[in-house]
A and B are shown apart, each in its own frame.
Chain A
Amino acid sequence: MLISVFVLLCGCGSASADEPAFMVYYPAPGTMQLKAEKYKGEEYDAEALAAALYAKPDDASARTLSDLGVSINSVLSEGNIVHVDLGGGYRNLTASDRLLFDSALVRTLTQLEDIEGVRITVEGEAFTDEEGDLLPVLTAASFLYEYGTAADNSEMLCLYFANESGNALKSVICEVPGGTEKSREMRALEALFKGPEVPGYYPVIPEGAVINSLRISDGVAYCDLSSGIMSPCGNVNAEVTLYAIVNTITEAGGVSRVQILIDGENVKLFRESIDISGQLSRNLNILED
């Protein structure tokens, strides 16, 4: 029985480590959610999983894909993409039902280790949505799951920790779970504060320091930290700590500049050595070579 959900590049992040069984995700149009049930089959390939979506679920509120009026013509795995050709009934779905259908299908299929995406065609043709956009290859990342509804709304984020001597940064990509409630930047920063979970990487945040708030506005991240951040962390340089924070935030993708505040105040010097009164950009010079 396969256990992993995603390919992990590092062991960090707190995604549920064991998923003991494969799940089949059914759309539940009543509650507008997905209902997960254990996969009862013995084959672990795309066709079998897709077929499972047509088997009657135990939960009465869940619907099979055929209940939605959509039939599967064919399922073909090619590399890490599954090509699924659907019957014409797919075109009759409302946008909301289609979203449920798509996410159920993609979520179920991408459980397979080597499957990363699903390409949907309708009667052999590409599908265009209401806005006139072509339906792309769908991956797990194509959907944004609401907080509290899915464990694997995780994202791969790039975090910066210290090297052994504490004088340079080392980057690592981690899977960080979460849903709609927090921005990527916030999740990345929280993971940074939590500390590295991989050997060879050393923490940059002193004990007792906390994130007061992180606000994104117009490409600038306003990062308010507690005064505990001013204390040193082990042998780590002030510069290393500071740019671990700045780089991690900017790497999350949404912003290019970071304004650091200490307990809500615009402070002149960070640990009496670095001027943080203005906005800071990413510093790649401090990376370990």
Chain B
Amino acid sequence: MMVGLLSVGVTRSSILLDGSLVSLDNRSSELISRLRILSDRISGGAYSDENKKNIFLSDAAMLSDVYDSRVIITDRALKIIYDSYGNSTGRRLMSSAALRSFKDKAEIRNKEKDGYVTMAVPVRMYDAEGEIYCGGVVYAMLSAESVYKLENEKAGRSLIILLLFMGVLTAVAVVLSLLLERPLKNVAIQIRQAADFDGGDVSEAGYTETRDIAGAFNSMKNRMKALDDSRQEFVANVSHELKTPMASIKVLADSINMQPDAPLEMYQDFMQDISKEIDREDRIISDLLSLVHMEKGAPALDIKETDINLMLEDMIKRLGPLAKKNDVALVFESIRQVNADVDEIKLSSAFTNLIENGIKYNKRPGMVKVRLDADYREFTLVVSDTGIGIPEEEIRHIFERFYRVDKSHSREIGGTGLGLSIARRTIVLHRGQINVESEPGKGTEFTVKIPLVYNAEVQVKTPKGKNGKKKTKKH
């Protein structure tokens, strides 16, 4: 509003400043051209007969009236023959404008002085020899005051308009602010009240903008709620997972204590079981720690050029016994030789996890196929199984920590529930991506792509990779 007012005010002043001078200038230009016409009529014989003279004189009188200026016409001797003020006939006009005009036989127009603009036009006559002589002068004295009065009126009027405009703008501004105040205040109050995540949504349907604000706030609140929920869930899960092995250990210890006459073999059996549980707990804790560590920042990857084929072959050899135990055939298909810059230890544990899952969640008999291919930019690893598959609504959750599709059999299947999250995190750190497709009852296929060359400059901060290769989750 301020800007608008300022520009209007400046425009008005500049128009008005010029206005007076231009107006006066225009007025005097018009007048002198009228004087010229009078002068030409005199040269043309306006005084030659009585009729013409009367017409001429009444025109001169009208001119004087219209322009509010004294008009004087002189003869060759500079005696006044016509004066619109009527009373100086016979006197000689002592005006420098008139005298100069007469002497130079030229039009003279002076600048405004003391509130008047004087001007004179010579009456050009031709004598018997055809020589020009000055037959007199047509003189006028224009009052600047009437022009300025007009300009002042204009100034006054435009000032009134400006003030009106200001008034209207102020009114509009006040009305607008009043209109907006209530809904905005309302939204603010509701936002403050919604400090509790479980509260209802904020709503203020008054204006689009307030709806937007409310909507944005609500979605943020819901995200925070979801985050908070998942945090609680995570803590619950962690506690549960950590407690489970402890519970088993307790059961084993209690039961052996309750049998005072247990033979040594029994003690040895039980101790072995306890040891296994302790190992399990240890693994869970390590996995948790490494996951937290990976999520904190970008941990130092030990990037070295690695023979991927060799890495996979080793992996498959190691997993052989497990596969056999589960009656699952393990097939390795390598299309070409692949060398890439990777952290061998971390990546092999990620791949191992994928293959292990393929083996564990499989039918009897079943198959897991590991296929390695590459192009000039990245290598692709596909781990597909003929397993039990993952239902559609669960697929998007499988990379979450501790998530198990089949919750009831988690103990028998083993593992920590963190494997896929860790695997995914590792792949992301390598600037790669991992996708999954599955059909319940038929099988699951994991596809991993990793660039051959590791680009150290690009920062990876969060699981939803900000820069560089964005990890996309296909569901």
Contacts of A97 in B (CB 8 A): 103
Determine whether B202 belongs to the interface, using a CB cutoff of 8 Å to chain A: no
Determine whether B382 belongs to the interface, using a CB cutoff of 8 Å to chain A: no
Contacts of B103 in A (CB 8 A): 32, 94, 96-97
Contacts of A31 in B (CB 8 A): 96
Contacts of A43 in B (CB 8 A): none
Residue of B nearest to A183 (CB): B85
Would you list 29 pairs from A and B whose C-beta atoms are within 8 A, ordered by A residue?
Answer: A32-B99, A34-B94, A94-B103, A95-B76, A95-B78, A99-B78, A103-B94, A129-B76, A129-B77, A129-B79, A130-B75, A131-B79, A142-B92, A143-B91, A143-B93, A144-B92, A144-B93, A144-B95, A146-B97, A147-B116, A148-B116, A149-B94, A149-B96, A181-B116, A216-B84, A216-B86, A253-B86, A254-B85, A255-B86
Q: Is the CB of B86 within 8 A of A254?
A: yes
A80–B444 CA distance with the chains assembled, in angstroms: 139
Determine whether A141 belongs to the interface, using a CB cutoff of 8 Å to chain B: yes
Size category of the binding interface on chain A: 35 or more
Q: Which of B92, B113, B134 contacts A99 (CB 8 A)?
A: B92
Q: Is the CB of A95 within 8 A of B102?
A: yes
Interface residues of A in 212-249 (CB under 8 A from B): 215-218
| 7 pairs of A and B residues whose beta carbons are closest in the complex | A254-B86, A183-B85, A32-B99, A129-B77, A32-B96, A130-B76, A146-B95
Contacts of A96 in B (CB 8 A): 78, 99, 102-103
> Measured between C-beta atoms, what is the minimum distance from A143 to chain B in Å?
5
Contacts of A161 in B (CB 8 A): none
Q: Is the CB of A33 within 8 A of B96?
A: yes
Determine whether B313 belongs to the interface, using a CB cutoff of 8 Å to chain A: no
Q: Is the CB of B80 within 8 A of A144?
A: yes
Q: Is the CB of A142 within 8 A of B102?
A: no
Determine whether B100 belongs to the interface, using a CB cutoff of 8 Å to chain A: yes
Size category of the binding interface on chain B: 35 or more
A148–B112 CA distance with the chains assembled, in angstroms: 12
A150–B95 CA distance with the chains assembled, in angstroms: 11
Determine whether B88 belongs to the interface, using a CB cutoff of 8 Å to chain A: yes
Residue of A nearest to B118 (CB): A146
Determine whether B155 belongs to the interface, using a CB cutoff of 8 Å to chain A: no
**Contacts known (A95-B76, A99-B78, A131-B75); A215 close to B88, Cβ less than 8 A:** no
Q: Which of A103, A183, A217 contacts B87 (CB 8 A)?
A: A183
A188–B87 CA distance with the chains assembled, in angstroms: 13
Q: Which of A100, A216, A218 contacts B85 (CB 8 A)?
A: A216
Q: Which of B75, B76, B95, B113 contacts A180 (CB 8 A)?
A: B95
Residue of A nearest to B84 (CB): A216
Q: Is the CB of B94 within 8 A of A254?
A: no
Contacts of B75 in A (CB 8 A): 130-131
Contacts of B84 in A (CB 8 A): 216
Determine whether A133 belongs to the interface, using a CB cutoff of 8 Å to chain B: yes
Interface residues of A in 112-151 (CB under 8 A from B): 129-131, 133, 141-150
**Contacts known (A130-B77, A141-B91, A183-B85); A99 close to B99, Cβ less than 8 A:** yes
Determine whether B70 belongs to the interface, using a CB cutoff of 8 Å to chain A: yes
